[in-house]
Each structure stands twice: as C-alpha cells, then as structure tokens.
Amino acid sequence: MVNFQKNCKTYDNYMELGFFLKKLLKNKIDLVLKNVIRKELKKNILSQTIYV
C-alpha cells in the first residue's frame, strides 16, 4: 500500500515506485493506493501487507 502526497500522485510516480520496489526486493509486488481499497477488502489486504 502506498500513499502519495496530493501534489505528487501521478501515474508515472506510481509506476516508477512499482518498478523500483520490484527491483529492490527481487520479487513480484502488488502496489495498491491505500485510499482506493474497497472497505470490504481492506481488512484482508491489511493482514497480508508487508511493510518495507
């Protein structure tokens, strides 16, 4: 999960962060904007979140 500052939330920043984390962690990642997770799924997703 990721939060961007209001003036920094762009598609390019999102994609660059995803590529950076994938390379850094040498693993597939699922990058999700925290504010767009549906309420019904949030608890399940939070239980699987790995903070880096």
> For 4-29, what is each residue's pLDDT tens digit?
777 776 888 889 999 999 999 999 98
Residue type at 31 in one-letter notation: L
Looking at every residue in the chain, the average pLDDT score rounds to 86
Query: What is the Cα–Cα distance from 24 to 3, expressed in whole angstroms?
Result: 19
Query: What is the Cα–Cα distance from 19 to 40, expressed in whole angstroms?
Result: 28
Query: What is the Cα–Cα distance from 29 to 46, expressed in whole angstroms?
Result: 15
Position of tokens 């239980």?
47
45 pLDDT band (50/70/90 cuts)? confident
Give this prediction's pTM: 0.68
